[in-house]
A and B are shown apart, each in its own frame.
Chain A
Amino acid sequence: MNTEEYIASGTLEFYVFGLLSEAENREVKQLADKDETIQAEILSIEKAVINLSYSVAPHLSAANYEKIRQQLIEKHSGVVQMEPKRGMNPYMGWAAAVILTFGLAYQYYQNTEATKEVQAATAKTSKFEQLVASLEQKNTETEKALAVVRDNATSIINLAGQEIAPQAYAKVYLNRNKKEIYVDLAGLPTPPDGKVYQIWALKLDPLTPTSIGVIADKNASSGIFRVDNNDGAEAFGITLEPAGGSKSPTLEQLYTLGKV
Chain B
Amino acid sequence: MTQEELLEQIYKKDGKAFTALYDMYSKSLYGVIYNLIKDKEESEDVLQEVFVKIWKNIDSYNESKGRFFTWILNIARNSSIDRLRSKSHNNSLKNLSADNFVHILDHNTSVTNKIDAIGIREFINKLKPKCIKLIDLLFFKGYTQQEASDELEIPLGTVKTQNRNCISELRNILQVQ
Does B bind A? yes
Could you list which residues of chain A lie within 8 angstroms of chain B, going by C-beta atoms? 8-11, 13-20, 22, 25-26, 28-29, 42, 44-61, 64-65, 67-69, 71-72, 75-76, 79-83, 85
- Is there contact, CB below 8 Å, between B27 and A10? no
- Is there contact, CB below 8 Å, between A64 and B18? no
Complex alpha-carbon distance, A44 and B43, angstroms: 27
Interfacial residues of chain B within 101-153, with CB under 8 A of chain A in the complex: 101-102, 104-105, 108, 110, 112-113, 116, 120, 124, 135, 138-140, 142, 144-145
Chain B residue contacts of A8, Cβ below 8 A? 161, 164
Known A-B contacts A10-B160, A44-B171; A80 and B144 likewise in contact (beta carbons under 8 Å): no
- Is there contact, CB below 8 Å, between A64 and B44? yes
Nearest to B48 among chain A residues (CB) is A68
Q: Determine how close the nearest CB of chain A comes to the CB of B166; give it in whole angstroms.
A: 9
Complex alpha-carbon distance, A48 and B131, angstroms: 14
Chain A residue contacts of B102, Cβ below 8 A? 56
Complex alpha-carbon distance, A219 and B28, angstroms: 91
- Is there contact, CB below 8 Å, between B30 and A57? yes
Across the interface, B69 reaches (CB within 8 A) one of A46, A58, A59, namely: A46
Across the interface, B52 reaches (CB within 8 A) one of A20, A25, A75, namely: A75
Chain B residue contacts of A76, Cβ below 8 A? 52, 55-56
Counting chain B CB atoms within 10 Å of each CB, which of A11, A45, A67, A71 scores highest? A45
- Is there contact, CB below 8 Å, between A58 and B113? yes
Chain B residue contacts of A69, Cβ below 8 A? 18
Across the interface, A83 reaches (CB within 8 A) one of B19, B51, B163, namely: B19
Q: State whether the Cβ of B16 lies closer than 8 Å to any Cβ in chain A.
A: yes
Nearest 6 CB-CB pairings of A with B: A57-B31, A10-B160, A10-B164, A53-B31, A53-B28, A18-B70
- Is there contact, CB below 8 Å, between A42 and B67? yes
Known A-B contacts A8-B164, A42-B67; A56 and B48 likewise in contact (beta carbons under 8 Å): no
Q: Mark B143-177, 1 if CB is under 8 A from A, else 0.
A: 01100000000000001111110010011001011
Chain B residue contacts of A58, Cβ below 8 A? 30, 34, 40, 43, 104, 108, 110, 113
Counting chain B CB atoms within 10 Å of each CB, which of A15, A25, A53, A69 scores highest? A53
Chain B residue contacts of A15, Cβ below 8 A? 66-67, 70
Known A-B contacts A19-B144, A52-B170; A65 and B26 likewise in contact (beta carbons under 8 Å): yes
- Is there contact, CB below 8 Å, between B66 and A18? yes
Could you list which residues of chain B lie within 8 angstroms of chain A, going by C-beta atoms? 13, 15-16, 18-19, 22, 25-32, 34-35, 40, 43-44, 47-48, 51-52, 55-56, 63-67, 69-71, 73-74, 77, 101-102, 104-105, 108, 110, 112-113, 116, 120, 124, 135, 138-140, 142, 144-145, 159-164, 167, 170-171, 174, 176-177
Across the interface, A25 reaches (CB within 8 A) one of B64, B161, B174, namely: B64
Across the interface, A56 reaches (CB within 8 A) one of B31, B65, B160, namely: B31
A-B contact pairs, 28 of them (CB 8 A): A14-B145, A15-B67, A16-B67, A17-B70, A17-B73, A18-B77, A19-B138, A28-B66, A29-B63, A29-B66, A44-B176, A48-B167, A50-B28, A53-B139, A55-B120, A56-B34, A56-B104, A56-B105, A56-B120, A57-B28, A58-B104, A58-B110, A59-B108, A72-B18, A75-B52, A79-B55, A80-B55, A85-B19
Counting chain A CB atoms within 10 Å of each CB, which of B19, B31, B47, B71 scores highest? B31
Chain A residue contacts of B31, Cβ below 8 A? 52-57
Nearest to A60 among chain B residues (CB) is B30
Chain B residue contacts of A22, Cβ below 8 A? 65
Chain B residue contacts of A48, Cβ below 8 A? 167, 170-171, 174, 176
Chain B residue contacts of A17, Cβ below 8 A? 70, 73, 138-139, 142
Chain B residue contacts of A59, Cβ below 8 A? 108, 110, 112-113
- Is there contact, CB below 8 Å, between B15 and A81? yes
For the complex with contacts A17-B138, A67-B48, 16 further pairs of A-B residues with Cβ separation under 8 Å are A9-B160, A10-B161, A16-B69, A17-B73, A50-B69, A52-B170, A55-B116, A56-B35, A56-B102, A57-B34, A58-B34, A58-B104, A59-B108, A60-B30, A67-B44, A72-B55
